Amino acid sequence: MNLKEPLPMTQNIYDDPTFFQGYSQLGRSVGGLDAAPEWPALQALLPPMHDLRVLDLGCGYGWFSRWASEHGARQVLGLDVSEKMLATARASTSAPNIDYQRADLEHLSLPSLSFDLAYSSLALHYIKDLSGLFAQVYGALVPGARLVFSIEHPIFMAPRNPGWQVDAQGHKSWPLDSYQREGERVTHWLAEGVIKQHRTLGTLLNTLIDTGFNLRHVQEWGPTAQQVEDLPALAEEQERPMLLLVAAQR
Amino acid sequence: MNLKEPLPMTQNIYDDPTFFQGYSQLGRSVGGLDAAPEWPALQALLPPMHDLRVLDLGCGYGWFSRWASEHGARQVLGLDVSEKMLATARASTSAPNIDYQRADLEHLSLPSLSFDLAYSSLALHYIKDLSGLFAQVYGALVPGARLVFSIEHPIFMAPRNPGWQVDAQGHKSWPLDSYQREGERVTHWLAEGVIKQHRTLGTLLNTLIDTGFNLRHVQEWGPTAQQVEDLPALAEEQERPMLLLVAAQR
C-alpha cells in the first residue's frame, strides 16, 4: 500500500468534461441564485449576513459566497472539490474577504468555533459520511450558529426509475420504490454514472439530531402559486418534493 | 344559530357500524401491540414507564393504556372520541389507575403541567387543528417530558390513487402525486368516506418545532429483515414508508 496515496475522494463529477459542460449551461449556473426557484425559501432560513463568518460547503461557482460577502458577511470560506468550479468562482470576484479552497467534504478538517453560519446548496446528497461531515461542521460553528442547507429530497432520489409516469388523462405521478434501501444511487444526469447517496429523511434528520443540532425548520420545497404562474413547467414540482431545505442550530 | 350546539367534531368514523365491524377484526385490534409491526420501533422511543403520568391520545381499545399501567405508570388517562372503543377499553381492565374519558382531540382542554408522557398511535392524521392539539399537549406536559406518536406517513396519504402499481416484472411502486396539496383526503378503508388530513412531513415537524418541542427522533418506519422473513407480506413496506414515528421533547 502506498502510504502517500490520498484518501478515497468523493466522485468529482463536476470536473468530468461532459458533466461540467452540461452543468455550466443550467439556468442556475448562468443566472445564479435568482435562477434557482428554491432560493427565496432557502434565503428565508438564513440569518442576516452582517458581520458573519460564513462557511459555504460545495460552493461551486461561488454564487452564494459572493452574495454573502455583498450582504455584509465579514469573511467567507468557500469549499469545493471541483477545480474547474473553483477557477470560475475565483475569476468571478475580487472581494478580499472571500477565500476559495479545494476540499473534499468527505474528509474535512475544520477549525473549531470559527464560523457563525454554515451553508450548503445541493451538495450533501453526494456525501457518504454525512455523520462525519456534520460532526466537523458542528465543531466549526459557534454555539447558537446555524447550518442551513438544501439537498435532493429522498423521495426524488430513491426510485429505481426516477422519472414521471403519465396516465391516460395526463396526470403525472412519481413511481416511488426502494425508499428504505439506503445507499448509492447511480443516475445519468448530464453525464453517465453520477453517484448520489440515498438516505431516508428520517435518517438525515436523526443524523443532525444525534450530532447535537437542534432542528429549526424542515421544508420540502414546492413552488408557490406565483412561481407556477410565472413558469408553468414548475407545476409538476407540486406532485412530489424534489428538494429538501433544512435549518439546524448548534 | 343554536348556541347550545356542540363544537363541530372530528368525523367519528370509529362509531360507524361498518367501520367498527371491520376495524375490530384487524390484527392489531385482536392481537394488540404485539400485532402491530411498528410497535418495537415505537416502544424504543418511549421512556421507562415507572411512576409516569401518561396521556394516551386516541386510546382506542386501550392496548397502550393497559401496557403503560402494567409497566409501572402511576396514572394513565386514555382519551378517545369513540364510545364503542371506550366501552371495550373499559371492559378490558380493572386497573384503578387507568381513566378512560370521551374527548374530541380537535377541542381538547388539558390541565397544565400534569403529564410526564403523551402518546398517540395512528390518531393524529384525523386531526384538522394539529397546531391547537400540539399546543394543548405541550402545556399539559412537564418540562423535559416526551410526546411520542405514530401517524400515517404523508407519502402514504397524499396520492389521488393510493395503491400499488405493479409493472410487468412484478415490481411494485407507489404513484406519488399531490404531495404539496395539503388538506382532506377521503379514502375508502373499512368504510366509505373516511376523512384524513394530509400535511407534508415538513409541515408536521415545523408545527411541533413552532409549538416549542425539540425533535428527538424521526423514523419513517419500515420492517426489519427479520420481520420480512417472518411475514413476507411486509416486504412491500420497504418500497415506501406507510408510517411515521416521532419523538419530541418539551
pLDDT at A22: 80
pLDDT at A238: 97
Determine which of B239, B245, B246, B250 to mutate to test the interface with A (most A C-beta atoms within 10 Å).
Answer: B239
Mean pLDDT in chain A? 93
Distances, alpha carbon B12 to alpha carbons A22, A31, B55, B127, in Å: 55, 52, 20, 11
pLDDT at A1: 37
Longest dimension (CA), chain B: 61
pLDDT at A10: 67
Pairing state of beta strands B141-152 and B243-249? antiparallel
Chain A residues with CB under 8 Å of B240 CB are: 176-177, 179
Chain A residues with CB under 8 Å of B172 CB are: 177
Predicted confidence (pLDDT) at residue B246 exceeds the cutoff of 90: yes
B215 touches chain A (CB under 8 A): yes
Chain A residues with CB under 8 Å of B178 CB are: 238-239
Q: Classify B102 as helix, strand or coil.
A: strand
Predicted confidence (pLDDT) at residue A15 exceeds the cutoff of 50: yes
Render the burial of B189-209: b for 16+ CB within 10 Å, e for the rest. ebbeebebbbbbbbbbbbbbb
pLDDT at A200: 98
pLDDT at B2: 41
pLDDT band at A183 (very low <50, low <70, confident <90, very high): very high
For the residues B45-62, what does the mean pLDDT come to? 97
Chain B residues with CB under 8 Å of A179 CB are: 155, 220, 222, 238-241
pLDDT at A3: 44
Q: Classify B35 as helix, strand or coil.
A: helix
pLDDT band at B27 (very low <50, low <70, confident <90, very high): confident
Predicted confidence (pLDDT) at residue B4 exceeds the cutoff of 90: no
pLDDT tens string A75-121: 999 999 999 999 999 999 999 999 999 999 999 999 999 999 999 99
The beta-carbon neighbor of B155 closest among A171, A172, A176 is A176
pLDDT at A21: 82
Chain A residues with CB under 8 Å of B159 CB are: 173
Cα separation, B111 vs B166, in Å, equals 50
Distances, alpha carbon B84 to alpha carbons A119, A162, A235, B6, B31, in Å: 53, 45, 45, 20, 18
The number of residues in chain B equals: 250
pLDDT at B64: 98
Kindly calculate the radius of gyration of chain A based on its CA atoms and give it in whole angstroms: 18
For the residues B62-76, what does the mean pLDDT come to? 98
Across the interface, whether the CB atoms of A218 and B202 are under 8 A apart is answered: yes
pLDDT at A166: 95
How far apart are the CA of B196 and the nearest CA of chain A, in angstroms? 18
The beta-carbon neighbor of A209 closest among B159, B201, B216 is B216
The lowest-confidence range among A134-148, A185-199, B68-82, B111-125 is A185-199
pLDDT band at A6 (very low <50, low <70, confident <90, very high): low
Neighbours of A131 (CB within 10 A): 15
pLDDT at B24: 79
The lowest-confidence range among A230-244, B96-110, B184-198 is B184-198
The beta-carbon neighbor of B176 closest among A155, A214, A219 is A155
Look at the alpha carbons of B24, B26, B28, B32 in this order and tell me if their dihedral is positive or negative: positive
Predicted confidence (pLDDT) at residue A9 exceeds the cutoff of 70: no
The beta-carbon neighbor of A171 closest among B177, B209, B217 is B177
pLDDT band at B61 (very low <50, low <70, confident <90, very high): very high
For the residues B56-76, what does the mean pLDDT come to? 97
* Residue that wins the pLDDT comparison between A39 and B11: A39
pLDDT tens string B116-169: 999 999 999 999 999 999 999 999 999 999 999 999 999 999 999 999 999 999
Class of domain B38-155+198-249: alpha beta
Q: What are phi and psi of B146, to 5 degrees?
A: -105, 145
How far apart are the CA of A142 and the nearest CA of chain B, in angstroms? 20
Q: Cell match 370509529: residue?
A: B14
The lowest-confidence range among A218-222, B22-26, B32-36 is B22-26
- Which chain B residue has its CA at the smallest distance from A220's CA? B202
pLDDT at A170: 92
Q: Mark which residues 218-247 of A lie under 8 Å from B by CB.
A: 218-220, 222, 237-241, 244
The beta-carbon neighbor of A200 closest among B176, B217, B220 is B220
For the residues B176-195, what does the mean pLDDT come to? 90
Mean pLDDT in chain B? 93
The beta-carbon neighbor of B178 closest among A155, A215, A239 is A239
Per CATH, the homologous superfamily of domain A38-158+197-249 is Vaccinia Virus protein VP39 (3.40.50.150)
How far apart are the CA of A122 and the nearest CA of chain B, in angstroms? 18
How far apart are the CA of B139 and the nearest CA of chain A, in angstroms? 20
Supply the ipTM of this predicted assembly: 0.93
Question: If we measure between CA atoms, which residue out of B85, B121, B124 comes closest to residue B101?
Answer: B85
pLDDT band at B216 (very low <50, low <70, confident <90, very high): very high
B214 touches chain A (CB under 8 A): yes
Kindly calculate the radius of gyration of chain B based on its CA atoms and give it in whole angstroms: 18
Chain B residues with CB under 8 Å of A206 CB are: 217-219
Question: If we measure between CA atoms, which residue out of B110, B38, B36 comes closest to residue B77?
Answer: B110
C-beta of residue A71 within 8 angstroms of C-beta of residue A97: no
Domains of chain B, by residue range, sit at 38-155+198-249
